Structure 1
Amino acid sequence: MLKKVALLALAVTFTACKKEKEEEKNAETAEREVSKPIEITEFGFNLNDYIVRRDTIKSGDSFGEILAKNNLDYGKVYQIAEAAKDTYDIVRGLRVGKPYTLLFSKDSTQTPQCFIYQPNKVDYVVINFADSIQTYKDKKPVTVVEREASGVITSSLSEAIMNQELDYQVAYELSNIYAWTVDFFRLRRGDRFKIIFEEKYIDDTIYAGIGNIKAAYFEHNKKPFYSFKFQTDSVNKVSDYYDEKANTLRRAFLKAPLEYSRISSRYNPRRFHPVQKRWKAHLGTDYAAPHGTPIKATANGTVTISGYTSGNGNYVKIRHNSTYETQYLHMSKRAARVGQYVKQGEVIGYVGSTGLATGPHVCYRFWKNGKQVDPYKQDLPSAEPIEKELKEGYLTYIRPLKSRLDDIIFEEDQEEFVTSAE
């Protein structure tokens, strides 16, 4: 009996010792795990392995000076810049205000080993010169979130966008989508819009701008305009916007040669000239815009004149076909040459005040059959509709998007609904 008790006591003691040793071992492991630094990964590097310095490009900064100030000789800098040029011209590609990151070795020399430049929130350029020189471009992981919004215009499209706390880029994109069908220089109080669009986020938290506008509804002068983005060429990734009946929103001519701006003077057969101080026909439409604003060709065509006169200043004239011609006056600089074929939307010059002009603007003139006319009173032809073999697939694709657009409630309608319910 005594022998059994002794054996039992010995077993209990052994078990207790074993448990105590296991607990000590687990405690040691936990302590090591706690002391182990959390791995911080960015741009494909474990930043714990480097000394990290971040900054932004300042006025007067250059790639060479940045690296030279961080103990890299100019000969090595030149070698790095030349090797990187085929992938990214880092010498000419730096822009003031853009962030960069330098990775240094953790030894006593603290030698710079890698330069990372971010031209925008998503894209980055890595120039790794720790051993051999390697340059490549990459993107940060981006999460795309779909969002719905609506707005009512009281004074301008940009104000309506800001009132809904939307990215201003939304106004820019909407003006592009409807550039051929809605006159954004004549919007009226009460015009309104609905959109289904994408927002991009880095690491699920950092806003990185808008993505595609998948579908939109714009009501102008009580007339509805639907638009849906649809890919017509999967090989070349070609997409365009079409309405609810598969008709293109494009026209043979853009409504205006500038992005969203304002009309300072319209086509007028009898106008008092602000420079010559006399009554004189104004056979163009003046668009006031900041100096240097890009001027775009309103349709495909061939440049017939690119020159200067004392009245027109720097100007460009384009023949589009046997019927239509357009002219763009008072440019600060011309960007198209005689004989050049330009496409709709291509930049042909920049806003200035050369010639007889009181301020920066472009005078847009429009010819039909050799006679200057008001482009806003012309029934301009549409571009080609969607191809027949794609139409059925398109109509199927937009059906749920149109239902979603129709279900979005405008704020004013929502307020009326709440008031009536009360």
Structure 2
Amino acid sequence: MLAFTACEDDTKETALNEEKVEKKVPKPVKKEFGFILDNFEVVDGTVESGDSFGYILDQHGVDRGKIYQISEKVKDTFNPARITTGKKYKILKAKDSANTPEFFIYQNDRVNYTVLGIGDSISVERKKKPVSVKRREVSGVITSSLSEAVQAQGLSNLLVYELSDIYQWSIDFFKLQKGDQFKMIYSEKYIDDTIFVGIENVEAAVFKHGDKPFYAFEYETDSLTGQPSFYDEEAKALQSFFLKAPLNYSRISSRYTKRRFHPVQKRWKAHLGTDYAAAHGTPIVSTADGTVIAASYTSGNGNYVKVRHNDKYTTQYLHMSKRNVRSGQRVKQGDVIGYVGSTGLATGPHVCYRFWVHGKQVDPYRQNLPTAKHIEPEHKEQYFAAIEDLKTSLDEIPYKDYKK
């Protein structure tokens, strides 16, 4: 009886031990850029200052004759002379005795990359990482600045620029008030559903500024270019003939006035422009389409650019660190014409924006400026049908309350 019990116990113990034997879990396959990386010796690198395509390949055993052949064959798709400092790359080497380099993968940006076959067969191909799009609905409230309001919701700062771009003709972002609110419906781009790589598009937004709601709906009216524009709930274009400001979201340090104490000349005089304080090197843009009629330097204005938009309107941009256009050049609204500096009679980095109507200098903020073309009456019904559900969804998003 005892022997039988012992044998039975041994059998049970053996079975338990067998259950405890760990099953071998298959090693996960590491795949990236369309390659199974475990099949290669992988070298990860970053283009350093002074590196060239040839130098990088030479360091990994590719002879100079082969480098020349590769460069000549791929240059129409991938210019080896234009690799950029800071860009990442991978070199995939064969698992042979010589670790022969077979592929060079250059990461153009977080989504786009270029694969060069550098082994026996030379090839080049531009590719994209799979990107998924996620739709989001968000709201925010201004307590100190637009950037702070966006960050408070854990959102990307790219939304600051999206909102600034959409409303640059209709809202003066230098005059935002505490308690102003906004809501948006937009889509974000992700790699592998986890790595955020940017904003796909903004479908709709409403910005309540001074208790007045400013609606914006993305809608394509130009079938030739496929470029959408933004229109309000009444089918009026948000775009205006002029931008509200010549640079993106800074602060006004001095407004147009007939009497101001000049900080350099130490005397009272008229200030017939609007000063926008911004960091040195901030891009300055033309506020409307036009022709550059002056790009020069004077002791008072410093580096400056003057643009004639038509027979009625002219604008001027002063104290630039550097000009980016030449006299006679055509510019479009939003083109960078120079960079913020403090040349001429200036105490700090800013741009002085001046505005003429029929040759007379005026305050642009007191002008009734023309707007872009609205949706034609015969197309309004189609537009209203297209935005109906969007507006309903937008209105159903609750505003964030302002807490004093």
| Alignment partner of 2:43 out of 53, 60, 65 | 53
Structure 2 equivalent of residue 275 of structure 1 = 264
Structure 2 equivalent of residue 400 of structure 1 = 389
Amino acid in structure 2 at the alignment position of 1:69: Q
Q: Identify if the C-alpha distance between structure 1 residues 76 and 272 changes in structure 2 by more than 3 Å, giving closer, same or farther.
A: farther
| Alignment partner of 2:77 out of 71, 75, 87 | 87
Structure 1 equivalent of residue 15 of structure 2 = none
- Looking at structure 2, the residues matched to 126 and 137 of structure 1 have their Cα atoms a distance apart, in angstroms, of 6
| Alignment partner of 2:201 out of 212, 223, 236 | 212
How many residue pairs end up in the alignment? Answer: 381
Residues 280-309 of structure 1: CA deviation (Å, up to 9, x unaligned): 211111112222221111001111111111
| Alignment partner of 1:140 out of 129, 132, 139 | 129
Structure 2 equivalent of residue 104 of structure 1 = 93
- Looking at structure 1, the residues matched to 130 and 213 of structure 2 have their Cα atoms a distance apart, in angstroms, of 38
Structure 2 equivalent of residue 222 of structure 1 = 211
1:219-368 superposed matches below 5 A: 219-368=208-357
Matched, 1:166 2:155: yes
Residues 255-314 of structure 1: CA deviation (Å, up to 9, x unaligned): 001011111211121111111122121111111222222111100111111111111111
- Contact 2:204 2:394 (8 Å CA) reproduced: yes
| Higher mean C-alpha displacement, 111-120 vs 241-250 | 111-120
Q: Which one has the largest radius of gyration? A: 1
Amino acid in structure 1 at the alignment position of 2:151: M
SS in 1 for 2:98: coil
1:85 Cα offset (Å): 2.8
1:378-417 superposed matches below 5 A: 378-412=367-401
For normalisation by structure 1, the TM-score amounts to 0.85
Amino acid in structure 2 at the alignment position of 1:236: T
1:235 Cα offset (Å): 4.4
- Looking at structure 1, the residues matched to 25 and 96 of structure 2 have their Cα atoms a distance apart, in angstroms, of 21
Amino acid in structure 2 at the alignment position of 1:49: N
Structure 2 equivalent of residue 41 of structure 1 = 31
- Contact 1:143 1:203 (8 Å CA) reproduced: yes
- Looking at structure 2, the residues matched to 93 and 229 of structure 1 have their Cα atoms a distance apart, in angstroms, of 36
SS in 1 for 2:387: helix
Q: Identify if the C-alpha distance between structure 1 residues 389 and 58 changes in structure 2 by more than 3 Å, giving closer, same or farther.
A: farther
Amino acid in structure 2 at the alignment position of 1:366: F
SS in 1 for 2:193: coil
- Looking at structure 2, the residues matched to 90 and 292 of structure 1 have their Cα atoms a distance apart, in angstroms, of 29
List alignment gaps of at least 5 residues for structure 1.
1-30, 416-422
Q: Identify if the C-alpha distance between structure 1 residues 292 and 310 changes in structure 2 by more than 3 Å, giving closer, same or farther.
A: same
- Looking at structure 2, the residues matched to 238 and 388 of structure 1 have their Cα atoms a distance apart, in angstroms, of 20
- Looking at structure 2, the residues matched to 154 and 105 of structure 1 have their Cα atoms a distance apart, in angstroms, of 58
Q: Identify if the C-alpha distance between structure 1 residues 130 and 261 changes in structure 2 by more than 3 Å, giving closer, same or farther.
A: same
- Contact 1:232 1:390 (8 Å CA) reproduced: no
Structure 2 equivalent of residue 188 of structure 1 = 177
- Looking at structure 1, the residues matched to 256 and 149 of structure 2 have their Cα atoms a distance apart, in angstroms, of 28
- Looking at structure 1, the residues matched to 376 and 35 of structure 2 have their Cα atoms a distance apart, in angstroms, of 48
- Looking at structure 2, the residues matched to 318 and 271 of structure 1 have their Cα atoms a distance apart, in angstroms, of 26
List alignment gaps of at least 5 residues for structure 2.
1-22
- Looking at structure 2, the residues matched to 129 and 37 of structure 1 have their Cα atoms a distance apart, in angstroms, of 29
- Looking at structure 2, the residues matched to 353 and 82 of structure 1 have their Cα atoms a distance apart, in angstroms, of 46
Matched, 1:203 2:184: no
- Contact 2:102 2:119 (8 Å CA) reproduced: yes
- Contact 2:47 2:83 (8 Å CA) reproduced: no
| Higher mean C-alpha displacement, 378-387 vs 43-52 | 43-52
- Looking at structure 2, the residues matched to 271 and 169 of structure 1 have their Cα atoms a distance apart, in angstroms, of 37
- Contact 1:118 1:124 (8 Å CA) reproduced: yes
- Looking at structure 1, the residues matched to 55 and 172 of structure 2 have their Cα atoms a distance apart, in angstroms, of 49
- Contact 1:288 1:362 (8 Å CA) reproduced: yes
Q: Identify if the C-alpha distance between structure 1 residues 35 and 147 changes in structure 2 by more than 3 Å, giving closer, same or farther.
A: closer
Residues 4-39 of structure 1: CA deviation (Å, up to 9, x unaligned): xxxxxxxxxxxxxxxxxxxxxxxxxxx9xx798654
Structure 2 equivalent of residue 124 of structure 1 = 113
| Alignment partner of 2:363 out of 374, 377, 399 | 374
- Looking at structure 1, the residues matched to 81 and 254 of structure 2 have their Cα atoms a distance apart, in angstroms, of 44
Q: Identify if the C-alpha distance between structure 1 residues 361 and 93 changes in structure 2 by more than 3 Å, giving closer, same or farther.
A: farther
Amino acid in structure 1 at the alignment position of 2:83: G
Would you tell me which structure has more helix in proportion to its own residues? 1
- Looking at structure 2, the residues matched to 103 and 389 of structure 1 have their Cα atoms a distance apart, in angstroms, of 59
- Contact 2:168 2:243 (8 Å CA) reproduced: yes
Amino acid in structure 2 at the alignment position of 1:192: Q
1:56 Cα offset (Å): 2.7
The alignment yields a C-alpha RMSD, in angstroms, of: 2.0
